[in-house]
Amino acid sequence: MARIVQKFGGTSVADIPRIENVVAKVKREIDAGNQVAVVVSAMAGVTNHLVDLTRQIDKLHDAREYDVVVATGEQVTSGLLALALQKQGIKARSWQGWQIPIRTDGVHGKARIEAIEIAEFSRRMDTGEVAVVSGFQGLGPDQRVTTLGRGGSDTSAVALAAALQADRCDIYTDVDGVYTTDPRIVAKARKLDKISYEEMLEMASVGAKVLQIRSVELAMKLGVRLRVLSSFSEDPGTLVVGEEEIVEKELVSGIAYSRDEAKITLTLVADRPGVAAAIFGPLADAAINVDMIVQNASGQGRTDLTFTVIKSDLERAVQVLTQKKPELGFDDLLFDPNVAKVSVIGVGMRSHSGVALGMFRALADKGINIQVISTSEIKISVLIAEEYAELAVHALHAAYGLDAD
């Protein structure tokens, strides 16, 4: 007997027939003699709708009440799935994040899981009851509902799998696995049988939404065996494994893109020690993550500072910086939400040079201008105008020989 965590994303639970399809996937594991915990997302489109409702009231809403609203989507699905399982004669019970509880920090809207009190939950699983857990939610230190950031049900599933010492964590979604790039953008994308945690982490962190970044971080840290597979096919999917398990290391294994960032430029910032800390400190205090950063000397002891933030944080970032303008002493604050980040990822970059040059050439051939560049050991990212995002992804996928025949 094994313990399995199965996670089903929004499209997998989009309506009642699809929830019945999930019942069949759960039943298969039970019939194989396994104990099953199921983590569910909100039905497709529901979270977007809930987010939109909060934004209609105020774009700079109170994060605690935002969580109260957006956490409800998952509650509906967990109840529906428990009912659908019961109808097939399967013992099942729903669990909300606060009932287990899944304890998180207090950063509402993007909380991190700190601990899961698993004893009672685990005991109930031992009685053969299927646990149906609302993903995405937790309980903050103030005893209020928190949510884990968009796509956070993946992280709920991995954290639960770790707490339960599950044998596997299967992430069921609407594609057959992890591809060389988003298969909805590039028809010639190839499915990978295996990908390393490191590459998956980079791909997720630069925009491949197939797994939430934090879920990959946790799986890597806690050694959770993770599989990405489709709710709608029998394909075995993609295993996310340690780098040592991958025999043939590709130079470039994937291309990712994100339209989720916005660019901010502060012009004529004083070029002296402490200025970057004075700018990024208040943003960090407001829980705004800064991603790419570039600084251009403009002479006379002043520089232009350009950086990116998550698009949904743009208004807040502009507000924070505008308030601090007297102290920071910049000349102008410019921002542009119409940008995209395109990235090339591969562990082979550790030992080979020339990958960046190939990227710059492929983009230049298409006349695409690069606004900001950032790199890590196994990734190169560039910021470009949003309108060129798909063209760039296609061009790079072909340039690195990733197109399927």
Which residues of the shown chain bind Mg ion in the complex (CB under 5 A)? 9, 151
Taking residue 233's Cβ as centre, other Cβ atoms within 10 Å add up to: 12
SS3 228: strand
Q: In whole angstroms, how close is the CB of 254 to ligand ADP at the nearest point? A: 6
Report how far apart, in Å, the C-alpha atoms of 54 and of each of 49, 221, 258, 359, 374 are: 9, 34, 24, 40, 34
- The residue from 73, 109, 237, 254 that contacts ligand ASP (CB under 6 A) is 73
Which residue type occupies 118?
I
Give the binding-site size for ligand ADP (rule: CB under 6 A). 19
Burial pattern 250-287, b for ≥16 Cβ within 10 A else e, equals bbbbbbbbbebbbbbbbbbbeeeeebeeebeebbeeee
33: left (phi over 0), alpha (psi -120 to 50) or beta: left
Which residues in 35-74 contact ligand ADP (CB under 6 A)? 41
Q: Give the separation between CA 146 and CA 138, rounded to whole angstroms.
A: 5
Q: Give the separation between CA 244 and CA 137, rounded to whole angstroms.
A: 34
Which residues in 194-233 contact ligand ASP (CB under 6 A)? none
Which residues in 293-352 contact ligand ADP (CB under 6 A)? none
Q: Give the separation between CA 97 and CA 68, rounded to whole angstroms.
A: 12
Contact string (CB under 6 A) for ligand ASP, positions 124-143, x = contact: -----------xx-------
SS3 296: strand
Give the binding-site size for ligand ASP (rule: CB under 6 A). 13
174 makes contact, choosing from ligand ADP, Mg ion, ligand ASP, none, with CB < 5 to 8 Å by partner type, with ligand ADP
- The residue from 173, 253, 258, 308 that contacts ligand ADP (CB under 6 A) is 173
C-beta of 229 vs 321, nearer to ligand ADP: 229
Kindly state whether residue 175 participates in binding ligand ADP, applying the rule CB under 6 A.
yes
336 makes contact, choosing from ligand ADP, Mg ion, ligand ASP, none, with CB < 5 to 8 Å by partner type, with none
Contacts of 37 (CB under 8 A, 6+ apart): 3, 4, 5, 6, 121, 125, 130, 131, 132, 133, 160, 164, 166
- The residue from 3, 9, 111, 291 that contacts ligand ADP (CB under 6 A) is 9
Q: In whole angstroms, how close is the CB of 170 to Mg ion at the nearest point? A: 14
Q: Give the separation between CA 365 and CA 367, rounded to whole angstroms.
A: 5
Kindly state whether residue 41 participates in binding ligand ASP, applying the rule CB under 6 A.
yes
179 makes contact, choosing from Mg ion, ligand ASP, ligand ADP, none, with CB < 5 to 8 Å by partner type, with ligand ADP
4 φ/ψ angles, rounded to the nearest 5 degrees:
-125, 135
- In contact, 153 and 38? CB cutoff 8 Å: no
C-beta of 12 vs 35, nearer to Mg ion: 12
152 makes contact, choosing from Mg ion, ligand ASP, ligand ADP, none, with CB < 5 to 8 Å by partner type, with ligand ASP
208 makes contact, choosing from Mg ion, ligand ASP, ligand ADP, none, with CB < 5 to 8 Å by partner type, with ligand ADP
Which residues in 202-231 contact ligand ADP (CB under 6 A)? 208-210
SS3 172: strand
Contact string (CB under 6 A) for ligand ASP, positions 152-191, x = contact: xxx-------------------------------------
On the 0-12 / 13-18 / 19+ scale of CB atoms within 10 A, 64 is middle
Site residues for ligand ASP per CB under 6 A: 9-10, 41-42, 47, 73, 135-136, 150-154
Site residues for ligand ADP per CB under 6 A: 9-12, 41, 151, 173-175, 178-179, 181-184, 208-210, 254
